[in-house]
Amino acid sequence: MTEQKPAPEELKKEIKLETTPEKETIKEIDEKPKPDPRRRLFKSDRMTIVAPAPHNRGNKSVPRIMYTVIAALLPAIIISIMLFGTKAMITILVAVFAAMVAEYACNKIMKTGLTIDDGSAILTGILLAMTLPPSFPIARTALGAVVAIVFGKMVFGGLGANIFNPALLGRAFLQASFPVKITTWTLPAFAGVDSVTGATPLGQYFSDGTVTSLKSLLIGNVGGCIGETSAIALLIGGIFLIIIKHADWRIPLSYIGTVFVFSGILWLINPEAFPNPLFMMFSGGLILGAFFMATDMVTSPVTPMGTWIYGIGMGVVLVVIRIWGGLPEGVMYSILFMNGLVPLLNRWTRPKYFGEIQIEKKK
């Protein structure tokens, strides 16, 4: 056997020079290519969750909205307690307590989760109490709150499914059941020379033609329901809700604007037979209803065009009831009447989605 001689050093160098590029080429082939950053535009690294709308969630919630509306009502509540004393405070507390107990009982009977902490029952009780006179009996106030919760909200399936405003439905029940007690008014504590010394401003005007001064209507030194006296206090809370977008500005604007324009036209035609538009605006429960009841998110339209029709309809109904109806006030009936038309307004005023084609029926 012949022994293998070691390769010369020059030959080793040549082999190294030849093999080194090959290794570098193999190394380049084994390395993974760098990801294209443009792929992130089409395929996210995060997991995708498939769920129904809404996808863009804000910081608003039902309890937050309800308690914000309650806070907006505080100026009117404070003024009402100052004007009517402990009677107003007791009426509000009884209505709130009865509404919460009724909702708690419905939750237990229907075997649903407790909803008394979302603030809707508290708000319903406050709004109902503010539509009642201070001298209204306590037991009947509690009955109205129970009817408002049970038949105005829970019988439809709870908050979000009700057709009519619960507080106004409870008030309508009390007015139909106890018409004398609900029209017995109490004079405010600071009744003076400029204040109304009998019925509400609307009742006094349509009985003997007396027009209450605008100052008394703005301050609230007039007879009437607990929450419909001070227009300034109600405007403060209502404008606050519009600024923070908890109330649609189209509804109170169209509602109050229609009342002002319609009554103004009648006043210009015959000033002696019809009240002036400012009196129609600031008397009664128009401000309370326009900002705190008609703007209820559940019972008001969801389309911009629907809200305009909704507000104009309420204004027309209100003026018709006040001028030609048998009752001096019609805010409750105007809101409840238009509440019943909200599903139709949402359907008729729904905007067309992109690419929608309406197929014409062949005759």
What does the pLDDT read at residue 193? 42
What does the pLDDT read at residue 111? 86
Indicate which CATH number applies to the domain containing 82. Answer: 1.10.3430
Is residue 320 included in any domain, yes or no? yes
What does the pLDDT read at residue 196? 43
Is residue 30 included in any domain, yes or no? no
If DSSP states are collapsed to H, E and C, what string results for the chain?
A: CCCCCCCCHHHHHHHHHHHHHHHHHHHHHHCCCCCCHHHHHCCCCCCCCCCCCCCCCCCCCHHHHHHHHHHHHHHHHHHHHHHHCHHHHHHHHHHHHHHHHHHHHHHHHHCCCCCHHHCHHHHHHHHHHHCCCCCCCHHHHHHHHHHHHHCCCHHHCCCCCCCCCHHHHHHHHHHHHCCCHHHCCCCCCCCCCCCCCCCCHHHHHHHHCCCCCHHHHHHCCCCCCCCCCCHHHHHHHHHHHHHCCCCCCHHHHHHHHHHHHHHHHHHHHCCCCCCCHHHHHHCCCHHHHHHHHCCCCCCCCCCHHHHHHHHHHHHHHHHHHHHHCCCCCCHHHHHHHHHCCHHHHHHHCCCCCCCCCCCCCCC
Supply the range of the domain harboring residue 123.
62-348
Is residue 359 included in any domain, yes or no? no
What does the pLDDT read at residue 363? 47
Is residue 284 included in any domain, yes or no? yes
Is residue 152 included in any domain, yes or no? yes
**Total domains, the chain:** 1
Residues of the chain under the 70 pLDDT cut: 1-58, 189-199, 356-363
Q: What are the tens digits of pLDDT across the range 169-210? A: 999 999 999 988 888 877 776 654 444 445 677 877 777 777
Is residue 15 included in any domain, yes or no? no
Is residue 69 included in any domain, yes or no? yes
